[in-house]
Amino acid sequence: MKNNFLYAKELLLYLFVGAISTITEWIFFYLLNGILNINYLLATSFAFVFSTFVNWFLGRMFIFKNKNLYLIKEIFKIYGVSLIGLFFNLIIMFLAIEKFNMKSMFAKILATGIVFAWNFLIRKYVIYKI
């Protein structure tokens, strides 16, 4: 029972941190793509890298703070996993925009939702091995 409560608490905290990171990513993406007219794939990459840092930082402070990883090693693991998430993100963005004629911001929202699940599971079971 205690493990289920801990899991639910971590998931809720991760959802909160994820929401902040997501809003950061969407705003950054919108500024780059919608305002500055930077290509959506490049804007996606920059926004994803920036929001990954925000997500790692907040996650480290509020969720995974008691983990015994060296900071540099942890950041490399986070960005290593995030590169796979970025690859998924770019594929989803490309397909949604080029094949399904979706607006870039809607494609970004779709991609973020799918990659969110990947990030949580990998961090929980691979990086922090909870």
The pTM of the full predicted model, rounded to 2 decimals, is 0.78
d(CA 34, CA 47): 12
d(CA 55, CA 118): 14
pLDDT in tens, 19-47: 999 999 999 999 999 999 999 999 999 99
* Exposed e or buried b per residue across 53-70, where buried means at least 16 C-beta atoms within 10 angstroms of its C-beta: ebbbebbbeebbeeeebe
pLDDT at 1: 55
pLDDT at 66: 61
Task: Identify the DSSP state of 96.
Answer: I
Question: Per-residue confidence at 93, pLDDT binned at 50, 70, 90?
Answer: very high
**Other C-beta atoms within 10 Å of 21: how many?**
25
Please state, for a pLDDT cut of 70, what percent of the chain lies above it. 93
Question: Per-residue confidence at 129, pLDDT binned at 50, 70, 90?
Answer: confident
Q: CB of 89 within 8 A of CB of 48?
A: yes
For 2-49, the DSSP string reads HHHHHHHHHHHHHHHHHHHHHHHHHHHHIIIIIIT---HHHHHHHHHH
pLDDT in tens, 40-72: 999 999 998 999 899 888 988 887 776 666 778
pLDDT score of 130 more than 60 = no
